[in-house]
Chain A
Amino acid sequence: MEYSVLGKKVRRVDGAAKVTGQAKYTVDMALPGMLAGKLLRSPHPHARIVSIDASAAKALPGVAAVITAEDTLKLTFGNWRRYPHLLDEHPLAPDKVRFIGDEIAAVAAADEDTAEEALTLIEVEYEILPAVFDPVEAMQDGAPQIHTGPNVRNNVSETRHIEFGDVDAAFRACDRIREDDFSLHAVSHAAMEPHASLAQTDTDGRLTIWTSTQVPYYVQILLAHTLGMPEGKIRVIRPHVGGGWGGKIELFKDQYCAARLSQITGKPVKIVYTREEEFSCTRRRTPMKYHLKTGYMKDGTLVAKEARAVLDGGAYNAMGPTALYLTGFFQMFPYDIPNYRYDGFHVYTNKNPSSAMRGFGGPQAEFTCDSQLDMIAADLGMDPAELRLRNLMKPGHEIKGYCKVASCGIEECIRKAMKSTGWKKKRGNLQFGRGIGMGCYGFMSGGVFNWINTPYAFSAAMIRMSVDGFAEVYVGSAEIGQGSDTVMAQIAAETLGIPMDMIRVTSGDTAVCPPDLGAWGSRQTLMTGNAVKMAAEDVKKQVLEAASGMMEQNIVYSYDMRDGKVFVKERPDRTIPYQDAVKAAVRARGGLQIVGRGLYTPHGKGMVSPAFSFGAQVSEVDVDVETGKVSMVNVTTAHDCGQVINELGVEGQLEGAFVMGQGYVLSENLATDDGKVLNPSFVDYKVMRAPDVPLNFTSLMVETYEPEGPYGAKEAGEGLTNPNAGCIANAIYDAVGVRIYDMPITPEKILAALEEKKAAAGKKKPGKKPAARKPRKPARPAKKTRK
């Protein structure tokens, strides 16, 4: 079917406000009499708080309030309402600090300078405790215990096990086995807008908070919990948000402290994190140590896989346990491996907490998976693309008890990417120093996770239509730059058959919009999109009912709306302006405005996601063999996101995801020493800049129809963060023949590997490659540390 607005390149609905500087972000907001808030943070990675004396700070002129744990309910909180044993964080540390940056107290003062000065006057006496920074060390007996509790043993806060098929039998029966170890580092979300909140408490005790968040509803209910207030008294407003990527999907201390300080002072309180706080005290991508074992046949069929991951969780669980699950889950994507086992360990360390970040465990998994697949291909003398093609999931793929994959365009993605890049000609045949590599992925399109334990639908929408035909769409989804408001406007416009400029989307105000789980897990297009479609259909039904009364056609005919008209489906030339039908509908109901409602919750879709997106990524790189520096030459990505809603949005998401992934592999590294972040600034933390990105970036759309998605649509823009590390690592291998197992892949590591290779070549005779092991040899002894 030819759509009128879907699948087109449309301008963002929030674009005009943003290019003129009119768009207000939380950091831009101000209220009369507003106070500035600042947080006191631990300078120690691990210490017991012996005493806190805030009297001098409170006495400083200009200081309105100082709060410590004593001013809180001392409740733990987090997104894990369904799994309370995972709740391990307090709004302000009551007894112990667990990382450099752990929040201890907060100040509200007339201005930032005064607030900062007050922080220096708070006297905290610490008893320094031994700290541990490496997750494997933290798992050993005798390591410092960061959290105690019935569910924590040797700093392991959570374990996950995934298993299907008969893994051991499959390993015994396969031709060959490869085992490799990989390690993955921490990176920062580094959203351009820092975490920021402005809270105001009215005289009747109602709280309004404007905050930079991906999850307004979570903030509302978690504030209610931590402040001991009814949810109904809290209103969370999400102004324009300057980026999130998973770094803003929880309740944070700026939100809690601004709220609490506004309650105590009766004044609006604004807290904005500095860039240094952003890098050193907020969440980060989970570092992991991976052991991967894959069994395969000589013809390239993958038959068994076993993965073991140890996650450096940092000081608190945050959303790490979900990354723990998803990294194990997406390790097998997009391949059909009948026998799979995963064991993951989420381990506390005295560093800033690891949490959700674009890809949510996927980038780590795919780096190891894609790297190893290329090693297997090399072992078999096979084209790595052919190896992948041989083992792909197909539409309808089911993993019993876990998920069902309906639409799946991965094969077409690979073929398209190969064709477009001239893969067959290039791979293995480029001059030394230039190489081409592939990475593939499958990713969720909305999580079936209800950790937050809400009784509401995952997404809901409400549409009001006024008599002049304009539609107001209310959704709880969070526009954070990814373009969800535009997608919702398009879906509403398409369904109602009216132009986009007659739609206004209001999102992210909990007092006005229905609850929605928010922007994470690539869920807004599919889940909120379904709710919007349903709400629009509800509106349409009411309009068409009225139209049918007005048009007095043969009762066997039916009606639809398009191009601003109601028409008779069987006689499309018979039309009336839809506004006339709207007016009639309103009159017929005594003046009640037309309101449509819709909702979406996945049912019977397994426990991971109602749908999966897929893609193949091909990168061409140049490696400077004297310095080890990698430059991107060409990048091609082929992506199956179901029906494209906004082509401009999808392309932009893919490009952005790629470049973030490029930084993850080549330059970004949130480095710590004894728990202290060493590079907490954009000077020292190296994100990609415009001249670093490939000059040629090709996005190829592979459109499938996803039955569970609105108009067949699914995820775009998170999944593509996943294959880049492996893809670039494989291209580097193709270019210069070295394989890097620990991320990031810096010039220094490449150069060292090149030198090592040269030295080895000098010693050994060329010819025999180190062969993969035969399975009969005793498998690697199982680690004793499993609990």
Chain B
Amino acid sequence: MNRMMISFMLNGRRIETSVAPKTTLVELLREHLGMTGTKHACDSGACGSCTVSVGGRTVNSCSVLAVQIDGMEVGTVEGLAEGPDLHPLQEAFLDHGGLQCGFCTPGMLMSARDLLRRNPSPSAQEAREAIAGNICRCTGYVKIVESILAAAGKMREKK
């Protein structure tokens, strides 16, 4: 089996590894690197549980080949908190009940962060649209949207 060397930044840390070309980014993260925070629920780009950021924007890591992110920056849920301090989104999800089983949560948080980077004051409708690619079977989304808006408020206050 042919393998290729790739090198990329993962949550600010350089990773050099060899992968088979058919390895998807989610497989690289979860199975090769043991970074299981990113989830893998449909393998077809339809549920968003594998959402990570690549080059600053979110992608479904099940629908990107690992070889394609060579040289890029990848961010996962494990890189959200800064040291012991949770990201305001993480705090808000805890305070506002933005999670239940938690399986969609890593992807949801990544999508929410992507939104707040582009739009620090989203409306409820904008927040809903921003997570339309993330299926949550537990919460009915109501508290997720509340959490995102609350985090946005906190983040604006801080600035």
Contact = CB atoms under 8 A, between A and B. Distances in A.
Do the two chains belong together in a single complex?
yes
Contact of B102 (A27, A240, A651): A240
A192 B137 contact: yes
A33 interface: no
Contact of A275 (B42, B125, B142): B42
Nearest to A23: B102
A659 B141 contact: yes
A691 B43 contact: no
Contact of B145 (A193, A243, A681, A690): A690
A657 B138 CA distance: 8
A430 interface: no
A84 interface: no
Contacts of A690: 127-129, 131-132, 134, 136, 141, 144-145
Contacts of A688: 140-141
Contacts of B35: 21
B68 interface: no
A12 interface: yes
Contacts of B43: 274-275
Interface string B125-159: 10111011111111111111100000000000000
Given A16-B94, A481-B138, A682 B105 contact: no
Contacts of A16: 86, 94
A655 B137 CA distance: 11
Contact of A697 (B42, B134, B140): B140
B81 A20 contact: yes
Interface residues of B, number: 58
A652 to B, nearest CB: 5
Interface residues of B, dominant DSSP: loop
Contacts of A657: 140
Contacts of B41: 192-194, 242, 275
Interface string A295-315: 000000000000000000000
B132 A689 contact: yes
Nearest to B31: A30
Contacts of B36: 21, 24-25, 27-28
A682 B42 contact: yes
Contacts of A240: 101-102
B99 to A, nearest CB: 6
A682 B136 CA distance: 12
Given A193-B41, A652-B143, A682-B46, A30 B101 contact: no
Interface in B1-57: 30-31, 34-47, 49
A19 B105 contact: yes
A14 interface: yes
A660 B141 CA distance: 11
Listed residue (A24, A657, A687) with the most chain B CB atoms within 10 angstroms of its CB: A687
A697 B104 CA distance: 21
B38 to A, nearest CB: 7
Contacts of A15: 93-94, 99, 102
A483 interface: yes
Contact of A242 (B101, B142, B145): B101
Contact of A655 (B77, B86, B93, B143): B143
A704 to B, nearest CB: 23
A480 B100 CA distance: 8
B97 interface: yes
A203 interface: no
A192 B39 contact: yes
Contacts of A60: none
Contacts of B141: 655, 659, 688-690, 693
Contacts of A497: none
A592 interface: no
Contact of B140 (A19, A193, A194, A660): A660
Contacts of B144: 690
Contacts of B72: none
A652 B80 contact: no
A20 B139 contact: no
A613 interface: no
B61 interface: no
Contact of A693 (B47, B109, B137, B142): B142
A241 B102 CA distance: 8
Interface string A724-753: 000000000000000000000000000000
18 contacts: A11-B95, A16-B86, A16-B94, A18-B105, A19-B94, A30-B31, A192-B137, A240-B101, A242-B103, A243-B100, A245-B137, A652-B143, A655-B140, A655-B143, A682-B42, A683-B45, A690-B131, A690-B136
* Shortest 6 CB-CB contacts between residues of A and residues of B: A21-B37, A481-B101, A242-B103, A18-B102, A659-B140, A655-B140
